[in-house]
């Protein structure tokens, strides 16, 4: 009887051990494989002229503020701002400008120009795009890493052309289109007057 009990206990022990091994094997196959690490949301940093406040999403913000994708940034008169995108580059806003900024973990940067002028210095992977609600769009490529445009009648006017007209730097406010037209019109009128005067139009009528 004693030997039979021992044999029975050993059989039960072997069976339990086998059952436990099977359970562990099934659990190991059922466990989900480790997935890719979820990247942390990218955060941009803001710097303003003289640490003066600007507006981000209708709230006041100054140097050191964090910017998440989808933010709307507005600069007042005489205050410019720089958005540091780290390895992706920088974005510069001139005074009296407004943009909506979107970026992703793949390095793509989209800037919707709502008002004023913006410069984009793109680095790293991805593509930078400046665009307007009216459909104008400019993008970076392998030969073009920088974009600089001003919003004008729904389009994008190169910043360089604006600076050449006003003869100022990036921080100048420039002159309006109406003022430029008036200057050109005045110059044309002056030239016409000089031609008329030197070709007899300005002399006294000859006596008969």
Q: Tell me the C-alpha to C-alpha distance, in Å, between residue 120 and each of 24, 55, 145, 149.
A: 56, 19, 8, 9
For residue 160, the model assigns a pLDDT of 73
- Cα–Cα distance for residue pair 150/184, rounded to 1 Å: 21
Q: 137 - beta bridge partners?
A: 131
SS3 of the chain: the string is CHHHHHHHHHHHHHHHHHHHHHHHHHHHHHCCCCCCCCCCCCCEEEEEHHHCCEEECCEEECCCCEECCCEEEECCCCCCEEEECHHHEEEEECCCCEEEEEECCCCCEEEEEEECEEEEEECCCCCEEEECCCCCEEECECCECEEEEEEECCEEEEHHHHHHHHCCCCCCCCCCHHHHHHHHHHHHHHHHHHHHHHHHHCCCCCCC
Ordered mean pLDDT values, 10 residues apiece, the chain (208 residues): 60 64 54 46 88 97 95 97 96 98 94 98 96 97 95 94 43 43 45 46 47
Position 8 scores a pLDDT of: 61
Which pLDDT score, from 0 to 100, does residue 196 have? 44
pLDDT (0 to 100) of residue 192? 46
Q: What confidence score (pLDDT) does residue 118 get?
A: 98
**Nearest 10 degrees: CA dihedral of 94, 100, 106, 108?**
-60
pLDDT at 25: 54
The pLDDT assigned to 43 comes to 84
Q: How many CB atoms lie within 10 A of CB 13?
A: 10
What pTM value is reported for the model?
0.60
């Amino acid at each position: 009887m004693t030997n039979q009990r021992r044999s029975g206990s050993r059989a039960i022990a072997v069976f339990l051990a086998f059952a436990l091994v099977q359970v562990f094997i099934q659990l190991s196959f059922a466990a989900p494989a480790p997935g890719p690490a979820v990247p942390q949301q990218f955060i941009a940093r803001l710097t303003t002229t003289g640490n003066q406040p600007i507006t981000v999403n209708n709230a006041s913000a100054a140097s050191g503020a964090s910017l998440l994708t989808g933010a709307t940034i507005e600069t007042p008169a005489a205050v410019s701002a720089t958005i540091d995108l780290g390895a992706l580059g920088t974005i510069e806003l001139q005074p009296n400008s407004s943009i909506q900024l979107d970026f992703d973990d793949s390095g793509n940067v989209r800037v919707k120009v709502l008002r004023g002028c913006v410069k984009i210095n793109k680095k790293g992977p991805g593509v930078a795009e400046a665009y307007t609600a009216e459909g104008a769009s400019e993008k970076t490529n392998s030969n073009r890493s920088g974009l600089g445009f001003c919003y004008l009648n729904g389009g994008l006017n190169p910043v360089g052309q604006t600076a050449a007209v006003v003869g100022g730097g990036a921080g100048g406010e420039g002159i309006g289109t109406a003022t430029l037209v008036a200057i050109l019109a005045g110059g044309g009128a002056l030239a016409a007057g000089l031609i008329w005067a030197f070709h007899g139009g300005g002399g006294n009528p000859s006596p008969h």
